[in-house]
Chains A and B, each alone.
Chain A
């Protein structure tokens, strides 16, 4: 598995405020990482740093062999970083199909494949973005990121606020994405036990620092460790 992403001693935050300290890890092509931690520990900031939406104070951040520090935020998606933010950021005045097509990049993922994965989006393809339910919006947000044909997919709490039925469906889809290995995936979630089986690696953040870095299976089987870092979110 050749290296896709590498962080070395990354220090980052917003403006002069530092949220992340001394973060180092690497991710291979097609690999998967669960990014865990309680609220406010820096998970979203880490994704934002990768996307250029937070400020990298120091350290090295390399993606596909390139120093991301010199790549402007607006160009990072085209480098192969697909971001599904918590807010979903659906274009409300575009149809479902336009939301998907507007970002399309040549590759494995096209409209047909996205519609196969999310048949409901095909049924709703002429509806506007603001006419969708929460579950449909999340499916559209993931589908839109896939249309970029990213090398690395960043999912920021994709299950948040959704009904259990939709959560289970999305978990199954994310499992397929990580198992197929066509792209690397970083998955931020509160509910560790539900996502650790889906990923190969795990990183736990506490107050902006990594307190666990290793394989997901080891963490999943260590109930005490999970409880101490994640509390109720471990379950």
Chain B
């Protein structure tokens, strides 16, 4: 069940960035750090691009298709998860727009940016939790070995889950780690004065 390992790995990497994003929002809101727009842009790129370009297509095209064939009881859950995936593009545009607005307007626009970002984070956590708690256990028990062989083969092409085709997401992830202030990352962070 290589595919399940890859999905778990991707959830862990995504969850790590989601958690760090929440920490950075807290720190800006509480006045502990100045906003670092390069960091905010990098985190938004990661939490939107990795799911939309790497993670969801694999689920939609292989795992979900096989589950619909083999596990009729999964239909309602799959409908909901696919709707979440489709909704991703709209939520991504809203988040990017809010960052541009915040950067242009300054501190006065932080509450609006924070609200949009928190909505995005909450939806992402909800989606990941639903997959971890409901979808993956159902797949684990409901699919047969030959189903997994097919799904694993399709997922195998994506060996390093967060690299991307040219390693760009690997680089992006490292950049985020090096910018997020400790203890969540190893960046210095511009302390608010």
Show the binding face of A for B, using Cβ within 8 Å: 119-120, 123, 133-136, 139, 163-169, 172, 175, 193-194, 197, 220-221
Cβ of A194: which chain B residues have Cβ within 8 Å of it? 9, 12
State whether the Cβ of B112 lies closer than 8 Å to any Cβ in chain A.
no
Interface on chain A toward B: helix, strand, loop, or mixed SS? helix
Which of B19, B182, B187 has the largest number of chain A CB atoms within 10 A? B182
Given contacts A164-B19, A168-B13, A175-B160, contact A120 B184 (CB under 8 A): no
| Residues 80-131 of B at the A interface (beta carbon under 8 Å) | none
Cβ of B1: which chain A residues have Cβ within 8 Å of it? 221
Interface on chain B toward A: helix, strand, loop, or mixed SS? helix
Cβ of B187: which chain A residues have Cβ within 8 Å of it? 120
- Seed contacts A165-B19, A166-B186; 16 additional CB < 8 Å A-B pairs: A119-B178, A120-B186, A120-B187, A133-B183, A134-B183, A135-B182, A135-B186, A136-B182, A165-B20, A165-B177, A165-B185, A166-B177, A168-B162, A168-B173, A168-B177, A220-B5
Show the binding face of B for A, using Cβ within 8 Å: 1, 5, 8-9, 12-13, 15-17, 19-20, 160, 162, 170, 173-174, 176-178, 180, 182-188
Q: How far is the CA of A168 from the CA of B95 in the complex (A)?
A: 24
- Shortest Cβ distance from residue A155 to the other chain B in the assembled complex, whole angstroms: 18
**Residue on A with the closest CB to B140?**
A223
**Residue on B with the closest CB to A221?**
B1
Q: Of A123, A135, A193, which one neighbours B185 at CB under 8 angstroms?
A: A135
Q: Of B8, B13, B178, B184, which one neighbours A163 at CB under 8 angstroms?
A: B184
Check A172–B173 contact: CB distance below 8 A.
yes
Cβ of B186: which chain A residues have Cβ within 8 Å of it? 120, 133, 135-136, 139, 166
Check A134–B182 contact: CB distance below 8 A.
yes
Question: What are 20 A-to-B residue pairs whose CB atoms are below 8 Å?
Answer: A120-B186, A134-B182, A135-B182, A139-B186, A163-B20, A163-B183, A163-B184, A164-B12, A165-B19, A165-B185, A166-B177, A166-B184, A167-B16, A168-B16, A168-B177, A169-B173, A172-B160, A172-B162, A172-B173, A172-B174
Q: How far is the CA of A163 from the CA of B13 in the complex (A)?
A: 12
Check B178–A165 contact: CB distance below 8 A.
no
Check A169–B177 contact: CB distance below 8 A.
yes
Cβ of B5: which chain A residues have Cβ within 8 Å of it? 193, 197, 220
Cβ of B170: which chain A residues have Cβ within 8 Å of it? 172
Q: How far is the CA of A119 from the CA of B180 in the complex (A)?
A: 14
- Shortest Cβ distance from residue B2 to the other chain A in the assembled complex, whole angstroms: 8
Q: How far is the CA of A204 from the CA of B64 in the complex (A)?
A: 35
Closest 3 CB pairs of A and B: A133-B182, A164-B16, A165-B16
Cβ of B13: which chain A residues have Cβ within 8 Å of it? 168
Cβ of A166: which chain B residues have Cβ within 8 Å of it? 177, 184-186
Q: How far is the CA of A178 from the CA of B43 in the complex (A)?
A: 28
Cβ of A164: which chain B residues have Cβ within 8 Å of it? 12, 15-16, 19-20
